Amino acid sequence: MPIETHEEDHSAQARNPSRRDFSRTAGAAAAAIAAGARLAARAAGDPFASLDGVGSAGVIRSGQASAADLVETAIARIERLNPQLAAVCAPT
């Protein structure tokens, strides 16, 4: 009976990753893409790009911007980035 080497095991695992490995890799890729989009948005002068929902609420509560300002900035960000990302679809 031939003895299998670890190299064969790794190549088989690379061809058929487990759900956990796939999720981990996909999550890391999504985080890298999101980080790149935030950096690009900051470079383009989008001060709200890195805010989450809590941060956005804080900006509105403090009076630094209105909800309409945040929505307009988000729409502009979508219009600027979506041609490369193709992430937002609108019904036609």
Q: What is the mean pLDDT of residues 75-91?
A: 84
Domain count, the chain: 1
Residue 74 counted as domain residue: yes
Residues 6+ away with beta carbon under 8 Å from 85: 37
Residue 25 counted as domain residue: yes
The dihedral sign for the CA sequence 55, 58, 62, 68 = positive
Per-residue model confidence (pLDDT) at position 1: 54
Residue 11 counted as domain residue: no
Residue 1 counted as domain residue: no
- pTM value? 0.49
Highest mean pLDDT among 6-10, 13-17, 58-62: 58-62
pLDDT digits (tens, 9 = 90+) for 9-57: 555 555 777 888 888 888 787 777 776 666 665 556 778 888 899 999 9
